[in-house]
Amino acid sequence: MLEIACFNKESAIIAAKAGADRIEFCAGFEVGGTTPSLHDYMELKKEITIPIFVMIRTRGGDFCYNNEEFQQMKNQLLEFKKVGADGFVFGILDGNLEVNFIQNKELVELADGIPCTFHRAFDRVKDYHKSLEEIIKCGFKTILTSGTKSNVSEGKEILKTLVELANNRIDILCGGGLRSSNISEIKNYTKAKNFHSSGIVNGILPDTEEIKKMKSQI
């Protein structure tokens, strides 16, 4: 499965036409993704048929949220749920860089069966084995990670371990510096089945040929 991170409607349409299996839809390219506008999501749904997972993140920066920010995240999730979001992408840590079990579980329960991905906040945690188990207990279906390193190539050892530890209880979605030049190596080394990329080669839009090359290797 190839998921493409898209920061606007134009990118998502390009990715879908190029053969992406799923879109992670967000705003805030410069800060690594924030919640997109409801209007943009609804317009995009008219244009493409593949699943669209919506980022729920109120701001850039760290992944610890105060009560006001957390309430905002709950409200955003419910708004997108009402209009038929296919999935959600979020991740909340506490001040000790551990999974905030209570807040994450509350959001997963609000999603009420709509699949949730724990995003690359995972790459900030102190203990990835403990955090993996906590995320599974919360009810997430997927973890997006570069193996706790800055990119998938540096993190491939831990990605391989995560796939083994997950043991089909949760999907490990490899992402962070993933391109057609290294996807085959990462797939073969880690035994992962799910991959995430922006598909951007130059500029800010995904490259059709790059997505096709990645897709052909999985």
**CATH at 152:** 3.20.20.380
- pTM score of the predicted model: 0.96
Q: pLDDT digits over 40-86, tens only?
A: 999 999 999 999 999 999 999 999 999 999 999 999 999 999 999 99
Q: Give the pLDDT of residue 32.
A: 87
CA distance 205 to 197: 12
The gap between the terminal CA atoms of the chain, to the nearest Å, is 7
Distance CA 211, CA 200 (A): 9
pLDDT value at residue 30: 87
pLDDT for res 203: 87
CB within 8 Å of 30: residues ≥ 6 apart: 60
Say whether pLDDT at 135 is over 90: yes
| pLDDT (0 to 100) of residue 94 | 96
Residue 17 has pLDDT above 90, yes or no: yes
Q: What's the number of domains the chain is made of?
A: 1
pLDDT tens figures, 194-216: 999 999 999 889 999 999 999 99
Enclosing domain of residue 27: 2-216
